[in-house]
Amino acid sequence: MTFARLSATLMLLFGAGLTQGFVPAARPVAKVVGGSMPMMKSTTSSSSSTRAPLYTPLSMATDPETSKTSNLPFWLDVGTKGGAIVVSLILFIVPIIIYSIVTSVFGFDEIEAGKWIGVGFTAIATFLWVGTYIFRVATKDMTYAKQLKDYENAVIAKRLEELDDDEIQALVEEIDRDDF
């Protein structure tokens, strides 16, 4: 099995397109068009002269509530490559500036100042990094939790699509009864 075929199969298995409300009647056929993006063969056929494209692009499931857009420029947003480079440069330059100030202005010994600045900066950076990790765990803002939530939502949506109108109405009435 080629890599392109494997990746297209995995995208189909893990719910690509389920959150868009489209469930094909037949088993979808994935194909890589142009070697770059997996595509799903359209199950609709048109007999008119204007035909829909035979292949439509697949997309990963995204939740509009959790998709965040930053108002920061790309070089300040740590979620981008530019932001990661700028933060790395700042974290590299700040201890050097502190070392220069401590040794020239306050007159500390260079070796002792270097030791304490290195230890202090490493301890503070480690403490802050662990703090961000604990915060992400506490708020369940981790990759696994997001993937699990997306999977559960996709399964619920698929089951809801498989229900008849009478069953959906019965569920709505049961939920209304439970609310009161």
How would you class 133 by CB atoms within 10 Å of its CB: exposed for 0-12, middle for 13-18, buried for 19 or more? Answer: exposed
Q: How far apart are CA 78 and CA 22, in angstroms?
A: 35
Cβ neighbour number for residue 40 with a 10 Å cutoff: 21
**Closest C-alpha among 72, 125, 131 to residue 94:** 125
Q: How far apart are CA 29 and CA 43, in angstroms?
A: 9
pTM comes to: 0.46
The string of pLDDT tens digits covering residues 32-44 is 444 444 444 444 4
- 3-state helix, strand and coil shares in percent for the chain, rounded to the nearest 5: 55, 5, 35
Q: What is the pLDDT of residue 24?
A: 44
The string of pLDDT tens digits covering residues 52-86 is 444 445 455 555 555 567 788 888 888 889 989 99
Strand 55-57 and strand 30-33: the pairing is: unpaired
Cβ neighbour number for residue 16 with a 10 Å cutoff: 21
3-state secondary structure of 25: coil
